A and B are shown apart, each in its own frame.
Chain A
Amino acid sequence: MTPMFSHIPADQRPTLEIFVDGQSVQARRGDTVAAALLASGLDVRRDSAVSGVPRLPYCMMGVCFECLVTINGVGNRQGCLIPVEPGMQVEIQRGKRELGK
C-alpha cells in the first residue's frame, strides 16, 4: 500500500525510531505522533470508543479527538499534540481506554 502521506524529500530533519504496536517506525524529529503514524504506511486506524468504527487523525490541531492513542502505556492521548521521542511506544487503541492504561 502506498502511504497516503509521506515526508517531502526536502525534509532534512534527523530521523528517530518509535514503536507502533511493537513495530519499528522511522519518524522525523518534530513530527507529532499523529503525523508519524500517518506517514508510517501502516494501518494505524483505531476503533472508536462507542460504535467501534475505524478512525484516523483528522483536525491535527487538538480539537476533534480522532487521534487518540496509547503512548508509553497511557491511553487516550491526543497524538496530534504530542511530539515523537526516541523509543516511544505507541499502541493503536481498540475501542475505549482501559482503566489501568
Chain B
Amino acid sequence: MSRVHDVAVVGGGLLGAAIAWGLARLGQKVIVLDEGDVARRASRANFALVWVQGKGLGLPPYARWSVEASRQWPTLAEALREQTGLDVHYQRPGGFHICLSEAELDARRQLIEQMYAQGAPNDYGLEMVDRSELEKALPEIGPDVVGASYSPHDGHVNSLRTFRAFHAGLRDFGADYRASHDVDRIEPQPGGGFVLHTSGGRIEAAKVVLAAGNGNERLAPQVGLFAPMMPTRGQIIVTERVKPFLHYPLGTLRQTDEGTVMIGDSKEEILDDRETRVPVTTVMADRARRTFPLLNRLNVVRTWSGIRVMTRDGFPIYDQSASAPGAFVACCHSGVTLASMHALELAPRIRDGGLGGPPSSFSARRFADAPETLLNADAAV
C-alpha cells in the first residue's frame, strides 16, 4: 500500500493544527483532515489565556505540564513569528484570579494549599495577594475586590492569530490541509497504516492522530483508543476597544492586544452554541463591573457562546493504541495554553512512534472503564 502521508491529523482546530505544525516542522508529510466552516470550533470561541494557576489539582503532572507550557510559549511564539511574520502577541506578565468576597478568598486560599500539599512544580510561585498589594498592579479595582491569587506563569495571547499562524505555517511547510473532510471511519490496515473514510474521500496514512476535540469520543474506539468527553458551554462578552488599562490577564477578564475587553467565563451543561443566555451574561457582566467599576461605561460589541472541549475528568488525555500501532489521541480543554507542548513536545514523540515521558502521565487508563487496548506508554519508551 502506498502511503503518501506519514501522519493524518484528524481535526484542524488549535490542537490538531499545533500537533500537525510540530510534525511538519520535523519534516513529516502531514495531512490535516478538517471539518467545514460550520464546525463547532472551540478554537474560535476561546478566551485566549495561557493559564497555569489552579490547574492540576488531583493530577500533579498536569500542573507541571502547564508550567512547562508557559515556559515554552515564547519559543513557540518566536518560531511562528519567524516563519509566518505573524506576531501572536504572547505576553506573560503573570495573572490574577480575583476574589469578590471573603468566602471566595478562603476557597482560593484552600485551593492553593492543596496544590502545594500534593507537590507543586518547581518555582510554582502561586500565592495569595491582599488588596493593598493588588492595588499596585491593578489600580482600577473596585471596592468589592478583597484580594486575589497570583501566578507568575500566567499570560495570554492572541489566540485567533495563533490559529492563523499555525495554518499559515502548515501551508509553508507544505502540509496538506483538507477542509470538509469529516472523518467517518478509520480502518487500521493489516501490516500497519490506516485508511480514513472521509466526506471528501479516502485517505491513507502511516499514522493517525485524533485531535477532533469532542469528536474524539466517537473516533477513538475505532482504533483501540478511549476519549470520554464531557463538553460544556461557555459564553464570552466583548467590549469596544479602549486604551490599555489592564496590564495583567485575570482568570475571567482580560484586555486584548487590540484593546477590547473580554469577559468570561461561564459554564453550562448546554451544548447549543447558536444562542447566548442573558441570565448568564448578566452575572458575568456584573462581576466584571464589580471588579472594575469603570467598565460600566463601556459598550458591549459582541457576546457569543462556544463549546468547550472537556474530558470527563477535565485533565488532558494523550494515548497511543496497542491494538492499532501508530494511532494516537490527544484531547484537552486547554488548546491555547498547551499549544506549545503539543507543537514542541508531543509532535516529536509522535514522529518517533512512542509517547513516553511526561505525556504518558495522561493516559486514559486512569478511567475505570478504559479498554485494554491502550498501550502502556512507559513500557513503550
Contacts and interface: CB of A to CB of B under 8 A. Distances in A.
Contacts of B243: 95-99
B104 interface: no
A99 B289 CA distance: 12
Contacts of B292: 99
Contacts of A50: 241, 258-259
A75 B297 CA distance: 9
B242 interface: yes
B140 interface: yes
B297 A96 contact: no
B259 A100 contact: no
Chain B interface residue number, banded: 10 to 19
Contacts of A75: 242
Nearest to B294: A99
Interface in B284-305: 292, 294-295, 297-299
Contact of A74 (B140, B242, B297): B297
B240 interface: yes
Main secondary structure of the interface of B (DSSP, over half): loop
A100 B258 CA distance: 18
Contacts of A98: 242-243, 245
A96 B294 contact: no
A76 interface: yes
A76 B299 contact: yes
A59 interface: no
A49 interface: yes
Contacts of A97: 240-243, 298
Residues of A contacting B: mostly: loop
Contacts of B241: 49-50, 96-97
Interface string A48-87: 0110000000000000000000000011100000000000
Contacts of B140: 99
A45 to B, nearest CB: 18
A101 B292 CA distance: 14
Interface in B221-260: 240-243, 245, 258-259
Interface string A34-58: 0000000000000001100000000
A49 B259 contact: yes
A75 B240 CA distance: 11
A75 B294 CA distance: 12
Interface of B: 140, 240-243, 245, 258-259, 292, 294-295, 297-299
Interface of A: 49-50, 74-76, 95-101
23 contacts: A49-B241, A49-B259, A76-B240, A76-B299, A95-B243, A96-B243, A96-B259, A97-B240, A97-B241, A97-B242, A97-B298, A98-B242, A98-B243, A98-B245, A99-B140, A99-B242, A99-B243, A99-B245, A99-B292, A99-B295, A99-B298, A100-B294, A101-B297
Given A49-B241, A97-B298, A99-B297, 8 more contacts: A50-B241, A74-B297, A95-B243, A97-B240, A99-B140, A99-B294, A99-B298, A100-B297
Closest 7 pairs between A and B when the two form their complex, measured CB to CB: A99-B245, A96-B241, A49-B241, A96-B243, A99-B294, A96-B259, A97-B242
